[in-house]
Structure 1
Amino acid sequence: MADETVDVLVAGSAGALAGAYTAAREGLSVALVEATDQFGGTFAYSGGGGMWYPCNPVLARAGCDDTIDDALRYYRAVVGERTPADLQETYVRGGAALIAYLEHDEHFAFKILPWPDYYSSVAGARNDGLRHIVSKAVPDSRLGRFQGLVRGPLDHERLGAAKPDLLTGGRALVGRFLAAMADNPRVAAYLETSLVELVVDDGRVVGAVVEHDGRRRSISARRGVLLAAGGFEHSTEMREQFGVPGRALDTMGAPGNVGLAHRAALAVGASTDLMDQAWWSPGLIHPDGRAAFALCFTGGIFVDKAGHRFVNESAPYDRLGREILRAMSEGCVGTRYWMVYDSRSGEQPPVMATNVSFSATAEYEAARLWVHADTIAGLAGEIGVPPGDLEETVHRFNEFARRGDDEDFGRGREHFDRAFTGGQSPLVPIDTPPYRAAAFGLSDLGTKGGLRTDVDARVLDENDQPIDGLYAAGNTMAAVSGQTYPGGGNPIGASLLFSHLAALHMARAR
């Protein structure tokens, strides 16, 4: 006999919150289990918390002239045949309806945060950024029984900074979902409670075993179980098992993302895809030795072991991360590589968004993560590359900057490349001594491989048949975008939508 019985059991508390909220709003009882001591998962670390939802009501009210056909043309061109066409279409079309659903509840409020699509030259791309919205900020005091329980921000967890009273970025939408459920007696929420095993009866998932403080108990779920517990980026064992490059130490994923939900689903016959994939990015190495997701580079160049450039430094972060992986696999870049820049803007590298704030310069210098020299040849000695090669690399790049065209890697030719320089060229000469270099590595926003699903987020077995009673979303689900990252807000947008669709499917079940 189960220790507790509900209609819907939800594991996770990032995009999973959309599923828990929808199920409760549709009149179902819900048990929400979160493995860590705070709600929000990796979603709560997002400084923007954006959602890529073409033609949603927020954009429509602003007069955006986008069409679903254009958005779908773009998405299909970027993702290709790597994931099912019906799954892609469900995502592109579904976001607008989800926002309309949420806006019927006064707890939710959104605004436009223009963010250009990541493949600017592909037909259908929206380079004005009008497919991207975020939640409006909300005071933590509005969260009722959940006040003080939203994870993040990163500076609080990694640098000891005080938690702000106002929830912004991803924390804002996490907070709004929690506020909307705070007074709902149909929602039971449990922190520090991990889903460790699924319970199956006659081929149907009917609940799960969860663990809290070393004790296990069972929760029966009449309508189904939704697994939206993040990826497995913090599990070194699973990263090695499935061939995910990089270190668990350098991921930006929430600490509870160790793949327990994946393992539980695999044990009952679930099929998977994309298990060697992650949402990649360059990572600025901080004094604690960890590489943290960094984007919006307004200058500088990346150089390999030979002192040569190897990438368009202004490319969208996942595309840039994949080029870094390619260079690593070819042996021209090691686990650490260098950004070379000058002193025109001071000591710090030209990075607008570090996600984990800069520490004091002296700390980077003491760890030999930031170095400088009066000459390019001297800087080459500091970072261990051939002086003549680095001098030639910098000279060639400065010529490109003078002419305004990067003949080697096309930096600045795509719209996104200029998104953080006010539309100006990102080719900034390196000519103001002392010359500087900052150490970078590989980071990720979490793994993106997971359980294969249909358009209702039902988990599929190896025969492409739904496993009755089992659903997945977020990074527990194999990413609808396949091996690409079409635009900012794609991971969060897909996570929220498929959690919502799972709950609606369970609500319709009888």
Structure 2
Amino acid sequence: MSGDETVDVLVAGSAGALAGAYTAAREGLSVTIVEATDRFGGTFAYSGGGGMWYPGNPVLVRAGVDDTVDDALRYYRAVVGDRTPAELQETYVRGGAALIDYLERDEHFAFKILPWPDYYSSAPGARTDGMRHIVSKAVPDERLGRFAGLVRGPLDHERLGAPAPDLLTGGRALVGRFLWAMADEPAVTAHLNTALVDLVVEDGRVTGAVVEHDGARRTIRARRGVLLATGGFEHNDAMRTEYGVPGAARDTMGAPANDGRAHRAAIAAGAAVDLMDQAWWSPGLIHPDGRAAFALCFTGGIFVDRDGRRFANESAAYDRLGREILAAMAAGTVTLPYWMVYDSRSGEQPPVMATNVSFSPTEQYRARRLWVQADTVAGLADEIGVAPAALENTVRRFNDFAARGVDDDFGRGAEAFDRAFTGDASPLVPIDTPPYRAAAFGVSDLGTKGGLRTDRDARVLDTSGRPIPGLYAAGNTMAAVSGETYPGGGNPIGASLLFSHRAARHMAGI
């Protein structure tokens, strides 16, 4: 990179932002993408599914799904409430189908259904069979042309040194398909290891940005606008503290450059922010490197607090469960680490189907006392530092629930998501097979979700509620349309893609 540059559209970020870059290029605009790391894809590329929650989209319609967008909107509003503007909520819920139709007109894109239940199945309009959720079909990395070998992830590759597969699946597949679609497009320029550090504002309009590469700064001018979709600020502990985001950068699953620089640049340009204390939460299995990593799909076990008592529905959707954990921490009844208590019916590993970062060798967890065991429940209580009588009572009570199939304390198994990974069987699995075991857990997140306030076209709003000309935001750089909830799998990615797409359409004047 040398000298200044002028294009129609500058896109900062390379996860959901790619939908904006692709749309702008397809509509005849010149585009420059700047990505702060050495790979494309951001946190999006870490997603094992890469799902999109788009009710009534063409993939589902072709399969004969009997859902309606009105039902989906009723569900979404019931879950999110009035925490975010109704106009934004309706734009998201109604807009996904049109985006998939737009993409399917290009042979580079192909999708399939991956059933994933809504996360609040008792809310009106909920879909318990998962038929609002689709994913990209896999694509070989070799098809990506000039972008081959440049998609971030998967997590096992980055954290454990496992070989990166040649077939792109999950979130990596859709990132790859966007790159494949732009690989031969001369109007698209992309710069890796290039971070947006400031915005250029002239007469109240954003006309470009200052970017940094290898310590050198330069300006990229943007005739139509700048789209900020660089992720959240989860890797910035100072910002987490400033805005009151629980947890630590060490335990986030966010991509490494998600440090809030774009947030800071936009705030300096007059942008309003919202939801800055929020993140996409989850329980975090603590691995031998000391980091708590996003974990879900629990097929057994119970979580206990510092007094050896259960405190939540362990099979609840991960963000709901994460919020219960945080509430217990705020109340002082849970300290880190807390423990999953289970038995030996399935071996030594805790009953976690999806760890996101694969299990390390068992002896490493044992050596760091992250996994402990005892021949009796009382002995296990001594191992994890809780009162033996309390833990014995907790296990006895839970085993009674398991025998009856009803959790009188927390309703585990009552919602569709609770049973999604047990073949619809009860997740109330008794703890009665010695030796008894416990695994250490913390709190993880998929990234912060607080960011810049926007309108339905992803235009960033100032503190008076007026659009800042030339500035757009999407993904976790935008204040999440879902507010303080996580309505269903595919919401973060789905919203990121849609609002990036809408930003580009607005810049293109369509």
Q: TM-score if structure 1 supplies the norm length?
A: 0.99
Alignment of 1:394 with 2:395, yes or no, is yes
Name the CA distance, whole Å, in 1 between partners of 2:226 and 2:57. Answer: 28
Residue by residue over 1:76-104, the C-alpha shift from the partner in whole angstroms, topping out at 9 and shown as x without a partner, is 00000000000000000000000000000
Corresponding position of 2:203: 202
> Is the CA contact (8 Å cut-off) linking 1:300 and 1:342 kept in structure 2?
yes
Residue by residue over 1:22-72, the C-alpha shift from the partner in whole angstroms, topping out at 9 and shown as x without a partner, is 000000000000000000000000000000000000000000010011000
Corresponding position of 1:171: 172
Name the CA distance, whole Å, in 1 between partners of 2:439 and 2:298. Answer: 13
Corresponding position of 1:3: 4
Structure 2 residue matching 1:409: 3-state secondary structure: coil
Q: Supply the AA of the counterpart residue of 1:353.
A: A
Alignment of 1:190 with 2:191, yes or no, is yes
Where does structure 1 lack aligned partners over 5 or more consecutive residues? none
Residue by residue over 1:241-261, the C-alpha shift from the partner in whole angstroms, topping out at 9 and shown as x without a partner, is 101000100000000100010
Residue by residue over 1:312-337, the C-alpha shift from the partner in whole angstroms, topping out at 9 and shown as x without a partner, is 00000000000000000011101210
Corresponding position of 1:465: 466
Structure 1 residue matching 2:238: 3-state secondary structure: helix
Corresponding position of 1:282: 283
Name the CA distance, whole Å, in 1 between partners of 2:195 and 2:157. Answer: 24
Corresponding position of 1:447: 448
Name the CA distance, whole Å, in 2 between partners of 1:120 and 1:135. Answer: 25
Corresponding position of 1:215: 216
Name the CA distance, whole Å, in 2 between partners of 1:415 and 1:160. Answer: 36
What is the root-mean-square deviation of aligned Cα atoms in Å? 0.8
Structure 1 residue matching 2:359: 3-state secondary structure: coil
Corresponding position of 1:503: 504
Question: Counterparts of 1:291-330 in structure 2 under 5 Å?
Answer: 291-330=292-331
> Is the CA contact (8 Å cut-off) linking 1:110 and 1:135 kept in structure 2?
yes
Task: Give 1:416 deviation, angstroms.
Answer: 1.1
> Is the CA contact (8 Å cut-off) linking 1:249 and 1:290 kept in structure 2?
yes
Name the CA distance, whole Å, in 1 between partners of 2:415 and 2:6. Answer: 54
> Is the CA contact (8 Å cut-off) linking 1:12 and 1:41 kept in structure 2?
yes
Structure 2 residue matching 1:123: 3-state secondary structure: coil
Structure 2 residue matching 1:352: 3-state secondary structure: strand
Corresponding position of 2:370: 369
Q: Supply the AA of the counterpart residue of 1:347.
A: E
Question: Counterparts of 1:97-246 in structure 2 under 5 Å?
Answer: 97-246=98-247
Name the CA distance, whole Å, in 1 between partners of 2:203 and 2:373. Answer: 67
Name the CA distance, whole Å, in 2 between partners of 1:336 and 1:470. Answer: 42
Residue by residue over 1:345-402, the C-alpha shift from the partner in whole angstroms, topping out at 9 and shown as x without a partner, is 0000000000000011100000000000000000000000000000000000000000
Name the CA distance, whole Å, in 2 between partners of 1:406 and 1:126. Answer: 23
Name the CA distance, whole Å, in 2 between partners of 1:347 and 1:298. Answer: 14
Q: Supply the AA of the counterpart residue of 1:302.
A: F
Name the CA distance, whole Å, in 2 between partners of 1:397 and 1:128. Answer: 28
Task: Give 1:415 deviation, angstroms.
Answer: 1.2
Residue by residue over 1:97-140, the C-alpha shift from the partner in whole angstroms, topping out at 9 and shown as x without a partner, is 00000000000000000000000011100101000000000000
> Is the CA contact (8 Å cut-off) linking 1:116 and 1:129 kept in structure 2?
yes
Deviates more, 1:2-11 or 1:360-369: 2-11
Name the CA distance, whole Å, in 1 between partners of 2:244 and 2:408. Answer: 34
Name the CA distance, whole Å, in 2 between partners of 1:182 and 1:196. Answer: 26
Corresponding position of 2:35: 34
Name the CA distance, whole Å, in 1 between partners of 2:232 and 2:415. Answer: 31
> Is the CA contact (8 Å cut-off) linking 1:2 and 1:219 kept in structure 2?
no
Name the CA distance, whole Å, in 2 between partners of 1:282 and 1:142. Answer: 37
Structure 2 residue matching 1:322: 3-state secondary structure: helix
Q: Supply the AA of the counterpart residue of 1:350.
A: P
Corresponding position of 2:427: 426
Residue by residue over 1:225-271, the C-alpha shift from the partner in whole angstroms, topping out at 9 and shown as x without a partner, is 00000000000110011010001000000001000100000000000
Name the CA distance, whole Å, in 2 between partners of 1:449 and 1:190. Answer: 26
Task: Give 1:11 deviation, angstroms.
Answer: 0.2
Q: Supply the AA of the counterpart residue of 1:278.
A: A
Q: Which runs of 4+ in 1 moved over 4 A?
A: none
> Is the CA contact (8 Å cut-off) linking 1:278 and 1:449 kept in structure 2?
yes
Q: Supply the AA of the counterpart residue of 1:188.
A: T
Residue by residue over 1:259-293, the C-alpha shift from the partner in whole angstroms, topping out at 9 and shown as x without a partner, is 01000000000000000000000000000000000
Q: Supply the AA of the counterpart residue of 2:346.
A: S
Residue by residue over 1:176-234, the C-alpha shift from the partner in whole angstroms, topping out at 9 and shown as x without a partner, is 00000000000000000000010011110000000000000000000000000000000
Name the CA distance, whole Å, in 2 between partners of 1:293 and 1:437. Answer: 18
Q: Supply the AA of the counterpart residue of 2:491.
A: N
Where does structure 2 lack aligned partners over 5 or more consecutive residues? none
Residue by residue over 1:439-486, the C-alpha shift from the partner in whole angstroms, topping out at 9 and shown as x without a partner, is 000000000000000000000001100000000000000000000000
Corresponding position of 1:334: 335
Corresponding position of 1:405: 406
Q: Supply the AA of the counterpart residue of 1:49.
A: G
Structure 1 residue matching 2:116: 3-state secondary structure: coil
Corresponding position of 2:23: 22
Q: Supply the AA of the counterpart residue of 1:142.
A: R
> Is the CA contact (8 Å cut-off) linking 1:2 and 1:220 kept in structure 2?
no
Name the CA distance, whole Å, in 2 between partners of 1:416 and 1:210. Answer: 43
Name the CA distance, whole Å, in 2 between partners of 1:292 and 1:112. Answer: 27
Q: Supply the AA of the counterpart residue of 1:145.
A: R
Name the CA distance, whole Å, in 1 between partners of 2:3 and 2:242. Answer: 34
Task: Give 1:2 deviation, angstroms.
Answer: 7.5
Structure 2 residue matching 1:218: 3-state secondary structure: strand
Q: Supply the AA of the counterpart residue of 2:130.
A: G
> Is the CA contact (8 Å cut-off) linking 1:234 and 1:255 kept in structure 2?
yes
Structure 1 residue matching 2:125: 3-state secondary structure: coil
Question: Counterparts of 1:63-74 in structure 2 under 5 Å?
Answer: 63-74=64-75
Corresponding position of 1:488: 489
Name the CA distance, whole Å, in 2 between partners of 1:59 and 1:312. Answer: 31
Name the CA distance, whole Å, in 1 between partners of 2:78 and 2:35. Answer: 36
Name the CA distance, whole Å, in 1 between partners of 2:416 and 2:204. Answer: 51
> Is the CA contact (8 Å cut-off) linking 1:140 and 1:175 kept in structure 2?
yes
Q: Supply the AA of the counterpart residue of 1:183.
A: D
- The sequence identity of aligned pairs, in percent, is 81
